[in-house]
Amino acid sequence: MTDPNGAVPTYPTSLGTSTATEINLLGHDLAGELMGKISFGELAYWLVATRRPTPGQLRVFEAVLVALADHGFTPTAIAARVTYLSAPDSLQGALAAGLLGGGSRFLGVTEDCGQFLHAAITDHTANGNALPTTDADWDEMALDAIARQKQTGKHVPGLGHPNHKDGDPRTPVLIGIAEDAGVKGPHLRLFEAIGRMSERGVGRKLPLNGAGVCGAALADIDLPVELLRGFALLARCAGLLGQLAEEHRAPIANQIYMSVDRNAYYVEPDLPAT
């Protein structure tokens, strides 16, 4: 295709190109230099950050992908299974249905928490303030961040979990991995402080959830906070494919559908008085 002046337009990219004889990805020969030599996690990081992760960053990144892959019969999994029941000829539709359910209550908390922490850190350092060096100073910063969030009328992302009332088992493990890998940074430190200060700031002690700690960890390994939900969806795509494989082997979606359909009953709508 040419432009009106007859010149051939060009489209620069730092990602992938191909010719009749080769595929080039990230400036490397895909077949000769990448396949069998790097992991999928390393490639996913590299595609977004446009640089290879350090060993510590890769270890944390892949731990996050594992942490977010599957949590059982969540709404995203049920949506995927029921869509597969309705359209077994459209595996991509079933996967998409599950991924479309990633929002403010499921999966999206990863991005929400990362952005919340990043904004608090950016605001703190905007006036030339140094980041805290003691737990007490981090706690003070956490209380300020919680108060600011409460003023907006929004919940503090990363706090609380519907099942793990006494603590999400993923949270301390991921923090420990980040520390051991040498990539525990300000986002995780502020996140820990928010957990310590939740009772004072929110009014009740709430656990730090796994989606939130994943957001903090991803921000600490220098991934753009505006894209963190994408990594949660990347992880959940693997989990949803597992859910659909199990649905194919041992289907339950029709049982879910029949249970709802056969137990539905009509009620008069509760309309406002005119």
List, for residues 55-110, the tens digit of each pLDDT value: 999 999 999 999 999 989 999 999 999 999 999 999 999 999 999 988 777 778 89
- Alpha-carbon separation of residue 128 from 69, 142, 153, 186, 204 (angstroms): 39, 18, 28, 16, 33
CATH of domain 109-229: 1.10.230.10
pTM comes to 0.91
Q: Report the relative pairing of strands 28-29 and 16-18 from DSSP bridges.
A: unpaired
List, for residues 17-64, the tens digit of each pLDDT value: 999 999 999 999 999 999 999 999 999 999 999 999 999 999 999 999
Helices and strands (H and E) in the chain: how many: 12, 3
List, for residues 114-156, the tens digit of each pLDDT value: 999 999 999 999 978 899 999 999 999 999 999 999 999 889 9
List, by residue range, all CATH 1.10.230.10 domains of the chain.
109-229
The radius of gyration of the chain from alpha carbons, rounded to an integer in Å, stands at 23
Of 266, 218, 273, 226, residue with least CA distance to 59:
218
Strand, coil or helix: what is 159? strand
Average pLDDT, the chain: 93
